[in-house]
Amino acid sequence: MSSISVQNLHASINGQEIIRGLDIEFSQGEVHAIMGPNGSGKSTLAKVMAGHPDYEVTAGDILLDGESVLEMEPDERARKGLFMAFQYPIEIPGVSNANFLRAALQARLPEGEELDATDFYHRLYEKMDLLEMRREFTARAVNEGFSGGEKKRNEILQLAILEPAFAVLDETDSGLDIDALKIVANGVNKLRGPKLGVLLITHYQRLLNYIVPDFVHVMHAGKIVRSGGKELALELESKGYDWLKQDDNEAASLASPAVLTK
Q: Evaluate whether residue 57 is within a structural domain.
A: yes
Domain membership flag for residue 228: yes
Average pLDDT, the chain: 89
| Identity at 199, one-letter amino acid code | L
Average pLDDT of the segment spanning 200-204: 88
> How many Cβ atoms from other residues are within 10 Å of residue 243's Cβ?
13
Query: Distance between CA 100 and CA 232 in Å, rounded?
Result: 39
Residue 252 pLDDT greater than 70, yes or no: no
Flag whether 262 is in a domain: no
Backbone CA torsion sign across 120, 126, 129, 131: negative
Mean pLDDT of 53-70: 96
Q: Is residue 230 part of a domain?
A: yes
Q: Does residue 141 lie within any of the structural domains?
A: no
In this prediction, residue 77 carries a pLDDT of 95
What is the pTM for the complete model shown?
A: 0.88
Asked if the structure places residue 192 within a domain, the reply is yes
Residue 123 lies in a domain: no
CATH of the domain at 15: 3.40.50.300
User: What's the structural domain count of the chain?
Assistant: 1
Q: Is 207 a domain residue?
A: yes
In this predicted structure, the answer to whether residue 122 has a pLDDT above a threshold of 60 is yes
Strand partners, 3: 27
Burial of 7 per CB tally in 10 Å (0-12, 13-18, 19+)? middle
Q: Decide: 185 and 211 in contact? Cβ < 8 Å.
A: yes
Strands annotated E in the chain: 3-13, 16-27, 31-35, 56-64, 67-68, 82-85, 92-96, 141-142, 166-170, 197-202, 215-220, 223-228
Region 172-179: mean pLDDT is: 85
Q: Which domain holds residue 44?
A: 3-92+164-255
1 band by pLDDT with thresholds 50, 70 and 90: confident
**What b/e readout covers 155-177, taking b as 16+ CB neighbours within 10 angstroms?**
bbbbbbbbbbbbbbbbbbbbebe
Q: What is the mean pLDDT of residues 10-30?
A: 96
Query: What separation, in Å, do the N-terminal and C-terminal C-alpha atoms of the chain show?
Result: 62
DSSP letter, residue 260: P
Q: CA-to-CA distance for 231 and 195, rounded, in angstroms? A: 25
Q: Is the pLDDT of residue 4 over 90?
A: yes
